[in-house]
Amino acid sequence: MRSFFPEYPAGTLGAGLLLMRLSNAASLALDPLPSTSVHSWLAGLLALALLLGIRTRTAALAAILLALFGPPMAENISMLLCHLSALAALMLGGPGAYSADARSFGRRTITLPGTS
């Protein structure tokens, strides 16, 4: 039976997830937001969380909610759909092996006494 816990893939898939995290963080950080400080701080914190891979799925979900219910993140609807689809793919795919999440919650090796 398959586990319900997220896996942290390495290799080319992990590198792809790292690239996806970096591009989503850049789009959050570089998008011009209105001058409301709360939204710009929130977008900056979410970009930092995605960049480092800290609580990636939660940060991606919060970024989706910010894009849907906050100030407009894109100038047209096609760019907004690109942002939403990339964030949804990251939320469903997880952070990958090259993240703080994988370091904190990744696979552990248990060594029993008397075995080598």
State residue 111's pLDDT score.
74
Confidence band of 1 (pLDDT split at 50, 70, 90): very low
For the chain, give the percent of residues with pLDDT over 70: 80
Whether residue 107 is predicted with pLDDT greater than 50 in this model: the reply is yes
Among 20-29, 35-44, 67-76, the range with the most confident prediction by mean pLDDT is 20-29
E strand intervals along 1-116? none
pTM of the model: 0.75
